Chain A
Amino acid sequence: MFLSRRLTGKYASLWVSLLAILMTLAAASILLLAMGKNPLIAFRSFLQGCGMIPKENYGGGSGMLTDLLDFLNYLAPLILASLAFIAAFKAGLFNIGIAGQMLLAGFTATVLVGYNKGLSAVVAKPLVLLIGLLVGGMTGALIGWLKYRFNIHEVVSTIMLNYIISYLTGFFINNNYVDMMTRNSKVCSPDSRLTLTNIMIGDLKCKIPLGLIIAILIALLVSFLFRKTVLGFEIKAVGQNRRCSEYTGIRVNRTILLSMGLSGAIAGLAGVAYYLGYTNTIIPKTLPGMGYDSISVALLGSGAPIGSIFAAIVVSVFQQGANYMSSTVGVAKEIASLITGILLLFASCGNYMKYKAARKMQLAEDLRRTEGKEAKAL
């Protein structure tokens, strides 16, 4: 009853997310127990790996702060990627091509700016962002255009584009830009990177993630778009009832194109924040898993832009803390992806939970009313 009331109340979405997280933790605990590990120690080391709880000992030049900043460096593109998903999702479109859009934007920016040693930081960094926006936006708009011009479902076109982008960029990297030692693409110039490296804070060697500022800025912008603007209203209308939107006079095709373009543009930003911030290199023919994690994050955040920041923190803890957890507890770090998957499963049950709660509340209410009536009759 306590839960039913919460799940039908004003903060229902928040409670659904919390419930999803709790159930995920429970499921993960069972998993860890089955492997003979102590889940509490595992969860603690996830947090330690992200610089949220101090570890027992640190190497030279690193500390809790460096771990935390590394965590934030990972968090930034994930927030952006989930915002990209939300932008399309509000229009009823399922952009599962965020991974491809990230990769194409990251690759283009790496080649055009990252390998151009002549550019100063003041020019290079904004240029990277601009390229991210443009390349991602154009890819997204292409998907929107394919949808309304040829009625190709966005899930199909994005999956196909993901493959095309992955192999095309992989081909160019292997041919032209490969680092013979790592077999990845050559690293970008420090001036072009969205992460400031080797910044000394006290005696700690830190990375400052500029991407996080952009991520929070975009989250606020997207939130404003959907709460306060005519365009946001129209995107939501199209997402909820395309036929009625047409009837109202909304130019549905234009709106689809715009929201896909917007989604792609934000995905492009996520791409440059990931490849020119977090990784600094591109593994050829590999799509960033973050592109898919972003779907879990968006769903866990109930499709709310600000909510997705918090949801991204939860998912990032597992993804980013997995390495340390793996080394201390001895569970393969792939468990992070497993946990994210379970989280997606529970988060997408959110509407079902709300429905169940509403039904329970209603039946209780009916019962109370009829009993009241009977009591009066007696």
Chain B
Amino acid sequence: MGDYIVEMRHITKRFPGIIANDDVSIGIRKGEVYALLGENGAGKSTLMSILFGTYEPDAGEILVRGQEVHFHSSTDAAACGIGMVHQHFKLVEPFTIAENIVLGVEPEEKRLGVLPWMNMKKANRQISELSKEYGLEVNPTDRIGDVPVSVRQRVEILKMLYRGAEIMIFDEPTAVLTPQEIDFLLQIIDNLRRNGKTILLITHKIAEIKRIADRCAILRQGKLIDIRDVADASTQELADLMVGRQVRFTQEKTAPNFGEPVLEVQHLTVKNEHKFDVVKDVSFTIRSGEIFAIAGVSGNGQGEIADAIAGLAKIADGNVILNGKEINDLNVRERCLSGISYIPEDRQETGTIPDMTLQENLSLREYFREPFSRKGILKQDPFRDYAEKLIGKYDIRCAQGPDTILRSMSGGNQQKAIVGREIEEKSRLIIFVQPTRGLDIGAIENVHRQILEERERGAAILLISLELDEIMNLADTIGVLYRGEILKIDSADRMTTQEVGRYMMGVKEA
């Protein structure tokens, strides 16, 4: 097997509580796009972090170009021509693009024979040439803080190229991009392949693998399940291999049955701490039985709209009307009690108290009233009974039952706990923000089913998501948000994915 540029043999890596990689062996040929497919926690990122030198394996060996290597840090890996674009970019915001790219390998010269001097002009020129060569248009003198996410990603790719990387690892590169940007990225990857680079792509999106990858390794629970030629494998096959059972891609949606308006948002404006309008004059109405989805690229004011409705962010201007009553002046608890449930974007920061037990977390909407407490004194049994009921009903997996410390549970189960807690309130309005972020296919299926069940119950649902597929699958009505403004509101069946994607980029009317 001499034709592999990278070979990982019998890699095993343990972390407290889990075996992240269990005897995994893969071989990557020069010049191919090799995908690693698997659900969250399947061990893809760990395997690549081992290749990139971030972790050292407990057992197994790595061969690069036929030579056995032992990486102690990413510097060692970089010296072997391996580069990685992490899911969360590692860039210095106040620095320019060129400065970020040369960081650590600065073009140092000696002026007058002694004075160290960084030749930025030369670096800028080199980077311009490099970016033209690979079709990665960037302006080297722009500051990272001023450029959008897609450009930052290009900077990360250029960083690898500048260091002469031959083997490039991409960790979930499309998670932060719009559909158009994804197209563009896949073209770039194709370009890189044609230039003889070897690409390793970590993803859980099968569509992308089908479009770009040559071969694909499927990981599940740390074990290598199969290695397939992408051309010979169907999407359904890959999905079933990844999850380990039959997967349904779209949920059965019943015909819409809209009732009276539940939530009316009128000319809502929200300011951030710098007095900047993050939400500008936004108006929409959600009726009972309707899923209203807000599409948009991350950071365009989605979170602030949800927070303003729930009472966590101050309304600078406009009105929020629930069931015909204005709720601008109600505090968070009063709003909850008048019928708002809220599944927030960030599970651990906002949605839960990770160091408390599962039963305490499940009771966060209830603990202050009877039967959970009386006259300020907490009762014990109602907490436990309620937790046991929800654990059964929402299939929350927990090692020690109601007493499990929330932090010790997996992300998917934490999300189940939050969704269960909020749905159980039977509120008229349920806000879902990124409800499936970081969840794997099985869990996503589950959350989507619950959202549709609540719709059938007659709840008004505000769905805020960055996943366009999710929005297209579930929404009755779509509003597209761009820089805090809603550019377009229309019925979901009158809009295509491409159209929504265009509005997400700020294109106004076509």
Contacts and interface: CB of A to CB of B under 8 A. Distances in A.
A265 B368 CA distance: 25
B367 A247 contact: no
Contact of A249 (B16, B19, B336, B349): B336
B310 A358 contact: no
Contact of A229 (B14, B332, B336, B378): B378
Contact of B378 (A233, A243, A359): A233
Contact of A228 (B349, B351, B377): B377
Interface string B5-34: 000000000101101000000000000000
A258 to B, nearest CB: 12
Nearest to B332: A249
Contacts of A228: 377-378
A230 B349 contact: no
A241 B349 contact: yes
Contacts of A245: 353
B141 interface: no
B346 to A, nearest CB: 8
Nearest to A369: B19
A142 interface: no
A231 B376 CA distance: 7
Given A230-B367, A248-B365, A362 B378 contact: no
A251 to B, nearest CB: 7
Contacts of B354: 240-241
A240 B356 contact: yes
B118 interface: no
Contact of B377 (A230, A241, A243, A250): A230
B418 to A, nearest CB: 10
Contacts of B334: 249
Interface residues of B, number: 31
Contacts of A251: 331, 333
Contacts of A231: 376
Contact of B355 (A240, A359, A363): A240
Interface in A235-249: 236-237, 240-241, 243-249
A247 B332 contact: yes
B378 A247 contact: no
B451 to A, nearest CB: 20
Nearest to B363: A233
A241 B17 CA distance: 25
B482 interface: no
A334 interface: no
B344 interface: yes
B352 A244 contact: yes
A366 interface: yes
A139 to B, nearest CB: 25
Given A230-B376, A247-B312, A249-B332, A362 B349 contact: no
Interface string B362-401: 0011011000010011100000000000000000000000
B254 interface: no
Interface string A324-367: 00000000000000000000000000000000001100110010
Contacts of B503: none
Contact of B333 (A233, A241, A249): A249
A353 to B, nearest CB: 15
A77 to B, nearest CB: 29
A290 B235 CA distance: 69
B67 interface: no
Nearest to B374: A230
A244 B349 contact: yes
A246 B313 CA distance: 11
Interface string B333-364: 11110000010100001111111100010001
Contacts of B312: 246-247
Nearest to B346: A243
B344 A247 contact: yes
B16 A363 contact: yes
5 contacts: A230-B367, A230-B368, A245-B353, A248-B332, A249-B333
